[in-house]
Amino acid sequence: MFQDRIWYELRIMGIWVILIPPLTILTFVLLGLMLTIMQVDHLRISQVFTASLEMVLPLSAGLLTASIVSYDTAIELQLTMPKTYRLTTFFRLGLIIVWTSCIALFSSVFMYHLRFWRVPSQVETWKVLPQFIIGQLTWIAPLLWLVGVGFSLALCIRNRSASSALLGGIWMIEAIFYGYFAFTDWLKPLFLFPTTLDPTMSFWLSNRIVLLVTASVLLLLDWFLLRNTEILLQGITIED
């Protein structure tokens, strides 16, 4: 039943949920190849590959979450099922996160091996295995954070367009105004892309942990927000 369930949920979410993460990595691989041929600086190419894991994959997962997970064409039926809609929604969320994580982990193996991985200075001196394992926080933290924020926005605002727009705006601000995040004390814990943009920062580990904790809090909040079936039902009618 579990495999059947996974199959159906993926069918319902659509083929692009499966295709987007590998296509993203493939695009960056091609870009990396092109930059190598152009003899661009190795550090810059590493930055590009790190960005694919830390910035782009989490963005795509967050936008997919904001758009799909909180919207269902058969929601009224779903709300009457013994397998509650809360579980169904988190199941779908879990699929997006697990699939994106598999792609990220698989890609990181090659990036690390080929030394196209930007290692944060805080873990530079660590041994290979712990460095690689902890290094996965590079993408896990922003992935869960953007998914949590995307999901929360979609449930609170009850509008897919607005939540996607806000998530895109937040991403843009984090990418362009990263200097503020790197040097303003109260913003440091919310710095999403330090590995790509400023790997020398001294608070990388604590930043990753805070992001994970924030993401957990948001997802817990979402779990409780999904209890309100009346609001979920209303969400469809106010979509436009």
Partner 1 sequence: MMNITINHLDKTYRGGIHAINNVTITIGSGMFGLLGPNGAGKTTLIRILTGILRPTNGMLQIGEYNVNSEEGRKAIRHILGYLPQDFGVYPDLSAREFLDYIGILKGLSDRTGRQRRVEELLEIVSLTPVSNRKLKTFSAGMKRRIGIAQALLNDPKLLIVDEPTAGLDPEERIRFRNLLSDLGGNRTIILSTHIVEDIAQTCQKLAIMKGGHIIFQGTVSDLLNKAQGKVWIVTTQGIKPEGNITVMSTLHLSGSVQHRVVGELTNYTGAILTEPNLEDSYVWQMHEQRLPIQVNTL
Partner 2 sequence: MNQRVTFLGVLKYEFYMQLHRRALWISFIALGLFFTQFHQPWFRPITTSASDSIIYWTGIVQSFLAVVAGLLLADRLPRDRRIKVDELFNALPCTVSTRIFGKYLGSTIATLVPMFAIYSIGAAYIVVRWNTLQVLPLALVSFAAIVIPGVMFIGAFSIACTAIIWIPLYQILFVGYWFWGNLLPNVGIPTLSATILTPVGGFICTGFFNPHGKEGVCSPGIQGATALLGAESFLLLLGTAILVIVALICYLKWQQARQ
Residues that bind partner 2 (CB under 8 A): 14, 16, 20, 31, 34-35, 38, 40-41, 44, 47-48, 56, 59-60, 63-64, 67-68, 157, 159-162, 164-166, 168-173, 175-177, 180, 238, 240
Q: Least distance (Å) from partner 2 to the CB of residue 134?
A: 27
- Please give the torsion angle defined by the CA atoms of residues 26, 27, 29 and 35, in that order, rounded to the nearest 10 degrees: 170
- Burial profile 124-154: b = 16 or more Cβ within 10 angstroms, e = fewer: eeeeeeebbebbbbbbbbbbbbbbbbbbbbb
| Residue 171 interface partner, choices partner 2, partner 1, none, CB cut-off 5-8 Å depending on type | partner 2
Q: Least distance (Å) from partner 2 to the CB of residue 18?
A: 12
Q: For residues 129 and 73, give the distance between their C-alpha atoms in angstroms, rounded to a whole number.
A: 45
Q: Least distance (Å) from partner 1 to the CB of residue 1?
A: 5
Is 79 a binding residue for partner 1 by CB under 8 A? The answer is yes
Q: Which residue in 11, 110, 113, 180 binds partner 1 (CB under 8 A)?
A: 11
In contact, 60 and 100? CB cutoff 8 Å = yes
Q: For residues 93 and 98, give the distance between their C-alpha atoms in angstroms, rounded to a whole number.
A: 9
Q: How many helices (H) and strands (E) does the chain have?
A: 13, 0
Cα four-point dihedral sign 119, 123, 128, 134: negative
Region binding partner 1 by CB under 8 A among candidate stretches 67-75, 154-162, 186-194, 214-222: 67-75
Q: Which residue in 37, 39, 41, 74 binds partner 1 (CB under 8 A)?
A: 74
Q: Name the site residues for partner 1 (rule: CB under 8 A).
A: 1, 4-5, 8, 11-12, 14, 72-84, 88, 229-230, 233
